[in-house]
Structure 1
Amino acid sequence: MAHAHAARRTPGELRGWHVFAMLVAFFAVIAGVNLVMARYAIATFGGLETESSYKAGLAFKGEMDAAAHQGARRWAVDLSVRDGTDGTRTLLIEAKDASGKPVAGFDVDARFAHPADARQDVTVDLVDLGGGRYQGKAAVHPGQWELIVDLAQGGDRLFRSKNRVQLR
């Protein structure tokens, strides 16, 4: 007669294993959403702008000195970006000193830096046209970019130009 007092089950009654199954399902959904969000976060993260903020802070004084020397030279670059028929952009750089004479014989680097994602940066291969003029082509999609031009000699950067450009 031990089972004589067994309670009758009613349809839809919440039992212990139901609560356990709901609890497991709840945490499984939370874990699944966390895994999906972590995957998307890792896949879309473009990386750090600065690998070591400490080293960047130490280099800041050097950058300030370089900017002061650059300002004293009073060099200037004229930049033009033309759309090509093949979907590329043609960049023309004219470097001049303070008196307007061409600045020639330097290593010139140029790149289109994406303001939000360094993975989209595009380096432009330049050809020296002579007389302080340099030209190169690159496939750069429309949008807002920062065009960075560096003039260097013997491995030392002597001039940097940063220009915000809107490509259509």
Structure 2
Amino acid sequence: MSGSAAPALPRERRLTGRMVFLGFLAFFGVVVSVNAVMLSVALDTMPGLTTDSSYRASQRFNRDLAAARLRDARGWKVEARVDRDASGIGAVTVTVREPEGTPVERITVKAQVQYAARRSNDRSFDVVRTGPGLYTGTAEGLVAGAHDLVIEVERDGETLYRSRNRVMLP
């Protein structure tokens, strides 16, 4: 009376066309979803634009080129230094001198750091004259990384000098 039951064999799974199609859809669905997320993040952080309207910028090109030649003819020596502390407070020091070394007077200096990856991290410095040809300023909320330091020197509303230099802030 030994009734031995044969062990149940596992049911064989067959690969059907429906399973292949669903796997195909799932794979490419994941690929397209990840690409969409990466594209939106890339465009949000770096749109690649340095000007809002290239047409308007092209209309000003000849005027800006003539102004740059005048700036070069002045021969001013402009030196700038920007530092950032651990709390994100930045300090800029700008000296403006004539070719002979005498300080340039009756000017207004503007300084701004433009973050290379996101415009929302751009910061302007509150620059004041602290001595003959010496201008200093501070700004809060500077993030570490590569920035463009933009210096503008004006007199009576006319931009006499403009420079853009890449700086690394720790």
What residue in structure 2 maps to residue 3 of structure 1? none
Q: Number of aligned pairs?
A: 159
- Return the offset for 1:157: 0.7
SS in 1 for 2:60: helix
SS in 2 for 1:105: coil
What residue in structure 2 maps to residue 5 of structure 1? none
2:135 corresponds to 1:148:
no
1:66-123 Cα distance to aligned partner (Å, 9 max, x none): 1111112122223344566865333222222233332222221011233454443321
Matches within 5 A, 1:13-162: 13-46=14-47, 48-81=49-82, 88-139=89-140, 140-162=142-164
CA distance in structure 1 between the partners assigned to 2:31 and 2:92 by the alignment: 50
- Return the offset for 1:18: 2.8
AA at the equivalent of 1:152: E
CA contact 1:70–1:159 (8 Å) conserved in 2: yes
CA distance in structure 2 between the partners assigned to 1:88 and 1:120 by the alignment: 13
Q: Once the two structures are aligned, what percentage of the paired residues are identical? A: 34
CA distance in structure 1 between the partners assigned to 2:43 and 2:22 by the alignment: 31
- Return the offset for 1:27: 4.2
AA at the equivalent of 2:44: A
SS in 2 for 1:35: helix
SS in 1 for 2:99: coil
Q: 1:31 to 1:151 in 2, by over 3 A?
A: same
AA at the equivalent of 2:41: Y
CA distance in structure 2 between the partners assigned to 1:87 and 1:41 by the alignment: 25
Q: Which moved more, 1:158-167 or 1:78-87?
A: 78-87
CA distance in structure 2 between the partners assigned to 1:118 and 1:49 by the alignment: 10
Q: Please, which runs of 5 or more residues in structure 1 have no aligned partner?
A: 1-9
Q: Please, which runs of 5 or more residues in structure 2 have no aligned partner?
A: 1-10
AA at the equivalent of 1:49: T
SS in 1 for 2:13: coil
SS in 2 for 1:12: coil
Q: 1:92 to 1:78 in 2, by over 3 A?
A: same
